[in-house]
Amino acid sequence: MSELLAIDRLRAGYGEAVVLPELSLQLDEGQALALLGRNGTGKTTLINSIVGVTRRFSGRIVLDGVDITALRPDQRARAGIGWVPQERNIFKSLTIEENLTAVAQPGPWTVARIYQMFPRLEERRGNFGNQLSGGEQQMLAIGRALMLNPKLLLLDEPTEGLAPIIVDELMTALGAITRAGGICSIIVEQNARKILGLADRVVILERGTIVHQATSAALKDDPATLERYLGVSGAAGTKH
């Protein structure tokens, strides 16, 4: 399995503030990585740095052998990065179908395949983005990112603030995406227990630094580490 993403000694943040002091991370093709940590530890900053919307002080990012460090966010998207931010950022004045086709790039992910994964989007295909529930907007945000046919899919807390039944539906979809192959993914998620079932590997951040790396299976069986870094006890999930 070859390396898809290589982050080398990345130092990044916002304005003069450094959030990631010197972070290095590698991800192989087809792998799903869970990015965990308490609030404010740099998870979103890392995602945003891969997308290209933070200030980079030093370091480099290589995607599929191509140095994308100097590329703008739109150029990184065309290079193969799909992004689902916390804010979702769908086009609220466009219909569901227009949202999906506006960004489409050739590849295996098509409108029909998105509708197959999220049937409620097909039912509401003519509805505008501002007519959708929070859960439907998140499904659309994920579908839109997939329509780029990315090499790397970044999801920043995709289930935050959603009803449990919608969370279950999204987790099922994310599981299907990670199992389908062809896409490498990094998922930031507060519910550690749920995301460990989807990811191959886990990275835990603290103060912008990687403090623990393991396979998901190993972390599941390591309650001391879950408690130490995430405040997780039993199967309750991450404390805020």
CA atoms within a 13 Å half-sphere pointing along the CA-CB vector of 14: 7
The pLDDT of residue 215 is: 96
Q: Tell me if 159 is assigned to some domain.
A: yes
Query: Does 57 lie in the same domain as 88?
Result: no
Instruction: Give tens-digit pLDDT for 181-209.
Output: 789 999 998 778 888 988 999 999 999 99
Structure token pair of residue 141: 């945000």
Query: Does 199 lie in the same domain as 88?
Result: yes
Where residue 92 sits, what CATH number does that domain have? Answer: 3.40.50.300
3-state SS, residue 10: strand
Measured in degrees and rounded to the nearest 5, phi and psi for residue 163 equal -65, 150
The pLDDT of residue 1 is: 67
Predicted structure pTM score? 0.93
Average pLDDT for residues 37-41, to the nearest whole number? 92
Say if CB 109 and CB 98 are below 8 A apart: no
Query: Does 166 lie in the same domain as 99?
Result: yes
Instruction: Give tens-digit pLDDT for 53-111.
Output: 999 999 999 999 999 999 999 999 999 999 999 999 999 999 999 999 998 999 999 99
Q: Tell me if 178 is assigned to some domain.
A: yes
The pLDDT of residue 179 is: 82
- E strand or H helix at 199, and its extent? none
Query: Does 167 lie in the same domain as 101?
Result: yes
Query: Does 178 lie in the same domain as 108?
Result: yes
Query: Does 198 lie in the same domain as 97?
Result: yes
Structural domain of 59: 1-27+52-71
- Cα–Cα dist 67/50, whole Å: 12
Q: Tell me if 226 is assigned to some domain.
A: no
- E strand or H helix at 22, and its extent? strand 17-28
Structure token pair of residue 144: 């839109």
